[in-house]
Amino acid sequence: MDRNTEQPCYEASVRVRYAETDQMGVVHHANYLVWFEIGRVELMRQLGFDYKRMELEDECQIVVVEVSSRYKAPAHYDDELVIRTQVKTLRGFLLKFGYEVIRKADGKLLCTGETTHVVCDKNMQKRTLPEKYASRFRSLSLEHMG
């Protein structure tokens, strides 16, 4: 994610729980994937819809097919973190999000990541994203920014 872009980021906050740390007192890497999901869900809420209703009312699921993350500095127990989420790409049935995880106390960038999703129906068949969602995501997509 380019921190200098004018593309909007949506933010969510979490506080590191003791159970999320390992024997060394560092957050286990798998927790970042959970925080990416928190960021995605919050982005959708801030756009005016929620994932649960999207699944139930429109039989539309956003299935994770690829994840990448780059760990830059450790997070520790009781750190308050900010998850910044952006829509990077929306093309047909593919949707990509970008993430930054930042420690609130000092603004330190701890992790960056991306998730790629395939839009599917309830039978896990690829489908296009309904326009009522696509138009909102498209308005935020890096590919559609001037």
Domain residue ranges of the chain, discontinuous segments joined by +:
10-144
Within 8 A by CB and 6+ apart from 38, the residues are: 12, 14, 83
Chain segment 96-132, per-residue pLDDT in tens: 999 999 999 999 999 999 999 999 999 999 999 999 9
Q: 10 Å Cβ neighbour count for 143? A: 11
Residues designated as active site: 22
**Is the whole-model pTM more than 0.85?**
yes
Angle (deg, nearest 10), helices 51-58 and 30-46: 70
pLDDT (average), residues 62-74: 97
Cα four-point dihedral sign 86, 66, 122, 135: positive
Give the Cα separation of 3 and 128 in Å (integer). Answer: 29
Quickly tell me which residue has 């990448």 as its tokens: 68
Give the type of residue at 113: G
Quickly tell me which residue has 């999000």 as its tokens: 97
Q: Which CATH class is domain 10-144?
A: alpha beta
Q: pLDDT: is 6 or 25 the higher one?
A: 25
